[in-house]
Amino acid sequence: MHIDLEQKFTKFTEHWHPYIVGELNDNYVKIAKVKGELIWHKHDGEDELFVVLAGTLMMDFRDKPTIATKPGEILIVPKGVEHRPWTNDEEVRIMLIEPKSLKHTGDIVVAQTVENLEWI
């Protein structure tokens, strides 16, 4: 399956709303536009891969310094590790690879939580 991410990004405008663009093994490939900040959360059973396609993704951790990830860099957040993604005043584009079982904002439900992920 060939997927043009640039073309997929033209199909939505919301921030912090991941859309599914592909699947492999028991994982989904998702894309999202993010701007501002999400809540602190963790995923007890799943490691999470962030691939930054445009802009700089900032990630706070409870017990270590904030990490900035840019295009050409990736970030893996291990299972169980609390994290808070945010951006400076810019829209950042990311690709996520995560087990299908993963919930968007962990066990916390907030306004930004997407309960039912959709394909785009």
Binding site residues, its own copies, CB under 8 A: 1-6, 21-25, 27, 29, 46-49, 51, 53, 67, 69, 72-76, 78, 95, 97, 99
Residue whose tokens read 């963790």: 42
Residue whose tokens read 């060939």: 2
Under 8 Å between Cβ of 96 and 18: yes
Q: Which is nearer to its own copies, 112 or 120 (CB)?
A: 120
Secondary structure element (H or E) that encloses residue 8, with its range: helix 5-9
CB of 24 to its own copies, least distance (A): 4
CB of 111 to its own copies, least distance (A): 28
